[in-house]
A and B are shown apart, each in its own frame.
Chain A
Amino acid sequence: MKESANPIDELYRLHGKSILRYLQRFVGDAECAQDLLQETFAVAVRRPACIAEATSPRAWLFAVARNMGMNALRRRRRFAALPPHLAANGRSPDARIEEMLQAIANLPDIEREALELRLREDLSYREIATVLKIPVGTVRSRLHRAVQRLRSRLNPVGD
């Protein structure tokens, strides 16, 4: 009961799941993602001022998690070509969703990452910009290109 009053605990309760999902896709390893999640919140505990000053604590946490993921991948010296859930997911009954999964998997990494942050994690353009450390305009153009690619893939004669 006492722990729930802790702001870090509260942030963990609110955003832990989505950050964990993000990390799992990022590093492709559930166990490693759990460790990285804990490390992410350990950073938050060490830097309470950063959380307090952040425009969006959620975006700040995602940015820290992303750095952790990058470091983990660098340590392992390998990069996941496809997000594991996309590569391994063959259970969708809907053919169009299956096709869409393939289309998303074929997107360039930078566009796919921005798209997933928007659609899955529901981050705003500004928050995505914070996470990826790029300008908001770049986020917008990446998302536009991603949606255009997906649309042309699903509607080849539509253009």
Chain B
Amino acid sequence: MLIERTTLERLLIDRALGEISPDADELLEAYLSREPEGRRLLAQINETVELAKRAVSAPMREQERLCPLRRVAHLEMNARWRRFRKIAVASVLLLACISSGFGLGYWLFIQDVGRPDLFKVVPTVQVTICPSETYLPTTAMTPPAPTAANHNTF
């Protein structure tokens, strides 16, 4: 069985990067033992990965040394404080809304109590100008004066 070059290359790269299952590795090893071209490819890929690994693994400089974690306790306190602050702000807002509602309601209530006649029906005076010399005052609650019925005939 001949593995396609592209597939073989992928398998070899996975192997060099240490991401191949033991079963597949065993099969690959068996295949490579019969394929000198595959072994050459394997050597190249291994060399490339090894060199890349050495290249990127430069030692840490002095300024890269790890500082102590900035006070875990302090961070935890910050986190706790943030949670508390959230709850506190939400509670204050809720209380403010409730207080405003009560305040507004109370104010309206006071207004009503202060002006008890606000919605009472008050009789008004209606003046009808007649062409005759009689000006008869009347109220909305009373029927018009009998003389007012005659003004249309004028």
* Other contacts beyond A6-B72, A20-B66, A150-B48: 7, CB < 8 A: A8-B75, A46-B79, A115-B52, A119-B56, A119-B57, A143-B13, A147-B13
Segment of B14-22, B91-99, B137-145 in the binding face: B14-22
SS of B interface (majority): helix
CB–CB A20/B48 < 8 A: no
Q: Are B66 and A45 in contact (CB under 8 A)?
A: no
Stretch with Cβ within 8 A of B (4 or more), from A57-65, A72-80, A97-105: A97-105
Nearest chain A CB to B79 CB, angstrom units: 5
Residues of A within 8 A of B63 (CB): 30
The answer to whether B44 and A158 touch across the interface, beta carbons within 8 angstroms, is yes
Task: Tell whether A67 is near chain B: CB-to-CB under 8 Å.
Answer: no
Interface-central residue, B13, B45, B57, by most chain A CB under 10 Å: B13
User: CB within 8 Å of B: which of A120-159?
Assistant: 120, 124-125, 140, 143-144, 147-148, 150-151, 154-155, 158
A124 lies within 8 A of B44 (CB): no
A-side interface mostly: helix
Identify which of B49, B57, B64, B67 contacts A147 (C-beta below 8 A).
B49
B51 and A9 within 8 A (CB): no
How many residues of chain B are within 8 Å of chain A by beta carbon? 35
- Measured between beta carbons, the chain A residues less than 8 angstroms from B79 are 42, 45-46
The 3 closest A-B pairs by CB, nearest first: A100-B55, A151-B48, A45-B75
Asked if A143 and B17 sit within 8 Å, CB to CB, the answer is yes
Number of contacting residues on A, CB 8 A?
Answer: 43
B19 lies within 8 A of A85 (CB): no
Residues of A within 8 A of B (CB): 3, 6, 8-9, 12, 16-17, 20-21, 24, 30, 34, 38, 41-42, 45-46, 85, 89, 92, 94, 96-97, 100-101, 104, 115-116, 118-120, 124-125, 140, 143-144, 147-148, 150-151, 154-155, 158
Task: Decide: A45 and B60 in contact? CB cutoff 8 A.
Answer: no
The minimal Cβ–Cβ distance linking B148 to chain A, given in whole angstroms, is 85
Which residues of chain A have C-beta atoms less than 8 A from B51's C-beta?
96-97, 100, 150, 154
Q: Please, could you name 10 A-B residue pairs with CB atoms under 8 Å apart, sorted by A?
A: A24-B64, A38-B69, A42-B79, A85-B58, A115-B56, A120-B56, A144-B9, A147-B17, A147-B49, A151-B44
B70 contacts A by Cβ under 8 Å = yes
CB-nearest residue of chain B to A152: B48
A16 to B56, CA, bound (A): 18
Answer yes or no: B118 CB below 8 A from chain A CBs.
Answer: no
B68-105 interface mask toward A, CB cutoff 8 Å, 1 = contact, 0 = none?
A: 01101101101100100000000000000000000000
